[in-house]
């Protein structure tokens, strides 16, 4: 990558951290820090542990950020503050930029559903209204608001009435991803939680060609349940659970798979899709998977199916039996993401 030179700034990056949990938002913040340093800026990351339960804890979390004074340090002004996800963007700063990863979705698009602890009750409705009002005021304070995907962008407009600029997050080290072959396994990389729907992959394998294997990378609260399901479906010899692994091993797995299965429920963005395409691998996703659909086009760079094991099984078998199709789709995916670079991203975040 070319290193573009900017006036040296003192930059604070603000995010939240659930202890012992690492995902796309944490990767984004780390990558942003590395790349701001690469082009010569002074950067510090401010993280506060996040706890969203019981529900009234959310107000305490908001208050913590709202009361912080991050305008200066040791008498030197902070030139720029970049906040990411809820509630870090509630911090006040005269030069605040928000790169919105997501809000607290339990009070937004997931409100009252199976993935939310909030019900359609008077107390919950009142709490929701107050939190959304706080969000809206904090986002309106920002000099600029960027969204990591069109999906996040639409939510921000729908619920807060705020327009944002689309800015896709690049991969941390795109040069480390590579293609080697289209092997006999489908790869899954994600936290093993219910809304990531890895169970669809297991059910699909039970219907398809028994020569197809799956490698599952990640940990989460549903890990043991998924392993038990693997046993009950008689897939023990075909499915490998690796937990969290070293990056070099992950690059190898991307390089050797036939394709990647990634079908979360209404994902904000989906960094896994970019990782797959950077390795020239097609992606199988679902019609309700959200941000992944901004990159995966059915029959072009992968397959988009209903969240139905039989349909998914057919697509997996299609990739297994047609490696030329894997290559064609993988190349198409690579062309779609190769222009998402950190230099272009920084030029937008730092303009003005």
**Per-residue pLDDT reduced to its tens digit, 288-313:** 999 999 999 999 999 999 999 999 99
Average predicted confidence (pLDDT) for the chain? 95
Question: Do 91 and 70 contact (CB within 8 A), yes or no?
Answer: yes
Q: What is the pLDDT of residues 108-145, one digit of tens each?
A: 999 999 999 999 899 999 999 999 999 999 999 999 99
pLDDT beyond 50 at 2 = no
Strand 42-49 relative to strand 259-261: parallel, antiparallel, unpaired?
unpaired
Q: Looking at residue 6, what is its pLDDT?
A: 53
Residues 207 and 157 occupy one common structural domain: no
Residue 351 belongs to a domain:
no
pTM of the model: 0.92
Query: What is the count of structural domains for the chain?
Result: 2
CATH number of the domain to which 105 belongs: 3.40.50.2000
Residue 344 belongs to a domain:
no
Residues 138 and 50 occupy one common structural domain: yes
Residues 66 and 85 occupy one common structural domain: yes
Residue 348 belongs to a domain:
no
pLDDT beyond 80 at 221 = yes
Residues 158 and 242 occupy one common structural domain: no
Q: What is the mean pLDDT of residues 58-64?
A: 96
Q: Looking at residue 351, what is its pLDDT?
A: 84
pLDDT tier at 7, thresholds 50, 70, 90: confident
C-alpha to C-alpha distance for 281 and 327, rounded to whole angstroms: 7
pLDDT tier at 352, thresholds 50, 70, 90: low
Residue 288 belongs to a domain:
yes
Q: What is the pLDDT of residues 156-171, one digit of tens each?
A: 999 999 999 999 999 9
Residues 90 and 207 occupy one common structural domain: no
Share of the chain above pLDDT 70, in %: 98
Residue 352 belongs to a domain:
no
Domain stop point among 142, 167, 192: 167
Domain stop point among 167, 185, 209: 167
Domain stop point among 167, 193, 221: 167
**Cα separations in angstroms, 44 against 27, 30, 32, 37, 41:** 15, 11, 11, 10, 10
Residues 162 and 178 occupy one common structural domain: no
Residue 172 CB neighbours (<10 A): 17
Q: Looking at residue 182, what is its pLDDT?
A: 98
């Amino acid at each position: 990558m070319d290193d573009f030179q900017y006036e040296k700034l003192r930059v604070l990056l603000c995010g939240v951290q659930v202890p012992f949990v690492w995902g796309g938002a944490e990767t984004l913040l780390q990558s942003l820090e590395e790349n701001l340093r690469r082009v010569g800026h002074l950067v510090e990351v401010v993280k506060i542990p996040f706890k969203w339960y019981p529900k009234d804890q959310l107000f305490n979390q908001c208050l913590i950020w709202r009361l912080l004074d991050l305008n200066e340090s040791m008498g030197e002004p902070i030139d720029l503050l970049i906040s990411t996800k809820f509630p870090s963007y509630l911090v006040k700063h005269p030069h605040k930029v928000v790169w919105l990863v997501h809000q607290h979705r339990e009070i937004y698009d997931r409100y009252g559903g199976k993935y939310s602890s909030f019900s359609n009750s008077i107390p919950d409705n009142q709490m929701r209204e107050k939190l959304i009002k706080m969000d809206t005021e904090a986002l309106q304070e920002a000099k600029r608001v960027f969204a990591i995907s069109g999906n996040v962008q639409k939510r921000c407009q729908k619920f807060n009435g705020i327009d944002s600029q689309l800015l896709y997050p690049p991969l941390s080290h795109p040069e480390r991803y590579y293609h080697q072959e289209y092997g006999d396994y489908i790869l899954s990389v994600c936290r093993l939680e219910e809304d990531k729907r890895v169970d669809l992959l297991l059910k699909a394998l039970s219907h398809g060609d028994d020569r197809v294997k799956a490698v599952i990378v990640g940990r989460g609260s549903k890990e043991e349940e998924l392993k038990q399901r693997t046993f009950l479906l008689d897939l023990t010899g075909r499915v490998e659970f690796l937990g969290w692994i070293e990056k070099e091993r992950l690059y190898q797995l991307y390089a050797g798979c036939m394709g990647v299965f990634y079908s979360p429920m209404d994902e904000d963005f989906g960094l896994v899709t970019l990782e797959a395409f950077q390795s020239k691998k097609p992606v199988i996703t679902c019609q309700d998977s959200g941000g992944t659909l901004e990159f995966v086009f059915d029959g072009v760079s992968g397959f988009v199916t209903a969240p139905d094991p039989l349909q998914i099984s057919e697509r997996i078998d299609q990739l297994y039996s047609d490696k030329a199709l894997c290559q064609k789709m993988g190349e198409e995916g690579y062309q779609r993401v190769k222009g998402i670079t950190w230099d272009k991203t920084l030029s937008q975040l730092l303009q003005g």
